[in-house]
A and B are shown apart, each in its own frame.
Chain A
Amino acid sequence: MRRTDRYRYPFMMTLLVVLQFTVRSHLGGDRIAPDFLLLALLLYTIRAEPGKSALAGFIIGLLRDAMTVVSFGAGMLAHTLVAFASSWAKAVFFAEHVFVKGCLFFAGTWLRNFLVLAISGKLQGSQVAWELLVWSPLQGLTTALVGVVVLWFFGGWLSPRRPGAIGIPV
Chain B
Amino acid sequence: MAIGTDRYASRADTLLFLACVGLSIAALSLPDQWRDPLAQGLRQSVLAPLLFLQRQTELLAAARYRYDEVVAQRDSVALAATFLPELRSENVRLRGLLGLSQRLGGGYVSAEILHQPEPTNPLSFVVSAGKKEGVRLLSAVVSPEGLVGVVASVDEHSSVVLSWAHPEFRASAIATDGSVVGIAAPHGAEGPKVWLLELQGVLYRQQVQPGTVIVTSGLGGVFPRGIPIGTVIGQAGEEKGWGRTYLVRPAIHPAELSHVMILTTPRAAGSDLRNAFTAPDSLAPGEPPR
Check: B83 CB closer than 8 A to any chain A CB. Answer: no
Total residues of chain A contacting the partner, CB 8 A: 37
A63 to B38, CA, bound (A): 11
Residue of A52, A69, A74 near B39 (CB, 8 A) is A69
Inter-chain contacts of A81 with B (CB < 8 A) = 21
Residues of A within 8 A of B189 (CB): none
Q: Hey, what's the 0/1 contact readout for A113-134 against B, CB within 8 Å counting as 1?
A: 0000001000000000000000
Q: Which of A55, A57, A63 contacts B42 (CB 8 A)?
A: A63
Contact residues of A: prevailing secondary structure: helix
Q: Which of B221-253 contact A (CB under 8 A)?
A: none
B15 touches A51 (CB 8 A): yes
Interface of B is mostly: helix
Interface size on B, residues (CB 8 A): 38
Q: Does A13 contact B (CB under 8 A)?
A: no
Binds A, one of B51-59, B200-208, B278-286: B51-59
Residues from chain A with a CB closer than 8 A to the CB of B47 are 63, 66-67
Q: Are B10 and A72 interface neighbours, CB within 8 A?
A: no
Q: Which residue of A lies closest to B17 (CB)?
A: A54
Query: Residues on B close to A: CB < 8 A?
Result: 3-4, 7-10, 12-17, 20-21, 23-30, 35-36, 38-40, 42-43, 46-47, 50-51, 53-54, 57-58, 61
A residues with a Cβ closer than 8 A to B are 17-18, 20-23, 25-26, 49-52, 54-55, 57-58, 61-63, 65-67, 69, 71-74, 76-77, 80-81, 84, 88, 91-92, 119, 164
